[in-house]
Amino acid sequence: MPNTYPDGDNYVCADCGHEWAMAAAPEVVHSDDAVVKDSNGNVLADGDAVVLIKDLKVKGSSTTLKMGTKVKSIRLVGGDHEVDCKMDAGSFMLKACFLKKV
């Protein structure tokens, strides 16, 4: 992510303020036991299209991701922010609880 930066022994997400250890950086999920569900309980998979269910303020920026924004071709990753995606506003890692499968 272009908005993450190292801070001591951790990486910090400038968008949401989440911190994680440099050794435990998110990795791509390829396991069948790792199930990521959207806000309605639908199982998400790589390449799915989703919609934001609420406005999300991008931390450290004046940008706001608006409710109803459609995101195509998501990628699932491990960690606290399960969904990696690209939008017109840039690349973001989002929590699946703020998304709805289309």
pLDDT per residue as tens digits for the range 17-60: 788 787 654 555 555 557 899 999 999 999 999 999 999 998 88
Query: Under CATH, which number does the domain 26-101 receive?
Result: 2.30.30.40
- 15, 3 contact by CB (below 8 A): yes
Q: Rounded mean pLDDT of 1-28? A: 73
pLDDT given for residue 35 in this prediction = 87
Q: Tell me which DSSP letter residue 74 carries.
A: -
Residue 3 reports pLDDT greater than 70: yes
- Tokens 């890692």 correspond to what residue? 93
Q: Which of 39, 17, 20, 5 is nearest to 77 (CA)?
A: 20
Residue 1 reports pLDDT greater than 70: no
The answer to whether the predicted template modeling score (pTM) of the entire model surpasses 0.75 is: no
Cα–Cα distance list, 83 to 7, 8, 70, 98 (Å): 23, 25, 14, 10
pLDDT given for residue 52 in this prediction = 95
Measured CA to CA, the distance from residue 4 to residue 22 in angstroms comes to: 11
